[in-house]
Amino acid sequence: MKKKEHLNFFNAKLLDTYIENECIRIVSKESMINFRKGKYSVPTKYIGEEVQVIFNNSTDELLIYYDGELIRRHNLSERKFNYIVEDMSEILKSDVFKHKDDKEILTYIENSLLLYDEI
């Protein structure tokens, strides 16, 4: 007798209730929030603030809200670091690269994102 014949059908959607799809996070000094195994950028003005993070299963999108307002949208990713170029530019302008022009910052961002993808 084969064991497989005695297995019941399993509805994988039942697992969705055990996966965290909505949570509150505090934006880090790096202007990032943690969700599952990755970090996702938000605008720098939200550093230190609590944001609501909602994962939409049907679109694979991560929606980040502050006081009920959508402030950032990311696609869920396997990458460790997930930056929106505008966020990364803001982060760099606010600190280390404040003496650089926009073109230099954009070149740095493009090169860095390629390296992050290899992590």
pLDDT at 35 over 90: yes
Torsion sign across C-alpha atoms 25, 28, 33, 35:
negative
Query: What is the side-by-side strand order in the sheet with 69-75?
Result: 22-26, 50-56, 61-66, 69-75
Provide the percentage of residues in the chain whose pLDDT is more than 90: 37
| pLDDT per residue as tens digits for the range 49-96 | 999 999 988 888 999 999 999 999 999 998 898 988 888 888 777 766
pTM of the model: 0.68
Torsion angle, alpha carbons of 39, 45, 46, 47, to 10: 70
